[in-house]
Amino acid sequence: MKTLPMTSGFSFHRFLQVTRRTLQIKRRTYTLGYSGTFIGLYALWLLAMLFRVGPAEAETSAMILGIGILIYHVAGLVLTATTFSELQSPDSASQLLTLPATTSEKLFSSWFISFILYTLTTLVVLAALLLLMFITSGLFFGESFKFAFGITALEPISNILTYMLYNSIFLLGAVFFRGNNFLKTAFSILLFFLLIGIQSIIFINLVSPDSIQTFSRFPFGLQGELGRLLLQLIYTLPLTALFLVFSFFRLKNRQVV
């Protein structure tokens, strides 16, 4: 049996081994999740088309894709919150903690699966669903729509950036909390926004309206869809990196090797 030597640096081979191990453990969950979601969304689209729920075929397809994006966010965050579920059980914690891989390899493997691989697979599945709806509408309903319309309706860049940020937060929650990781992380986010909201109300009452309008125009005068995406990119990347660093040190404190 081939063995991989332990080194203090990052090993791509060990990263692959950890990734394969996680995918093997969760293979059934991912398979059932994707297949069930695909069939369920397609069946919902067929019902909407048969009973003419919605103004037009293109809008109906966009609605179904919107539901798919919602499932992408919610299901992805639930799976991310359970990434380190082995740490929560005394029977399985030792298996993960003593796994012959460094902290960075374990964390990067978890992030790779829960964000990169999960996102790419979701986009492929949604594109396949859109193609199937496109073919079905032309063959059986005598209607057609532009395939690019459905892709645009996904708003892939904005949704991916949003999920990337929350994925890093829930990944930290998966390492930090002990049990009920998803609920505890979601409550922490809700509490954070509540505190921000209270501070914003206080700030608005203390500052004049003219100053608030000037402050709202501060982000480099970015306008339009491109400006909004650039602004989202500016604050998403640093925050994502920050939460991943927090996750690294938290996991390292519980690490054995």
Pick from 191, 187, 199, 185: which is nearest to 246 by CA?
A: 185
Give CA–CA dist 186/180, Å, rounded: 10
Which two three-digit tokens encode residue 4? 């991989």
CA atoms within 13 A on the CB side of 248: 11
pLDDT per residue as tens, the chain (257 positions): 355 555 557 778 888 888 888 888 888 989 999 999 999 999 998 888 887 654 455 677 778 888 999 999 999 999 999 888 776 666 655 556 556 778 888 899 999 999 999 999 999 999 899 888 888 877 776 665 555 555 666 678 889 999 999 999 999 999 888 878 889 999 999 998 888 888 778 877 776 555 545 545 545 555 667 777 888 888 899 999 999 999 999 888 865 44
Intra-chain end-to-end CA distance of the chain, in Å:
21
Neighbours of 184 (CB within 10 A): 15
CA atoms within 13 A on the CB side of 157: 11
Is-above-0.85 flag for pTM?
no
CA 114 from chain centre, in angstroms, equals 7
Give CA–CA dist 148/182, Å, rounded: 35
DSSP code of residue 26:
T
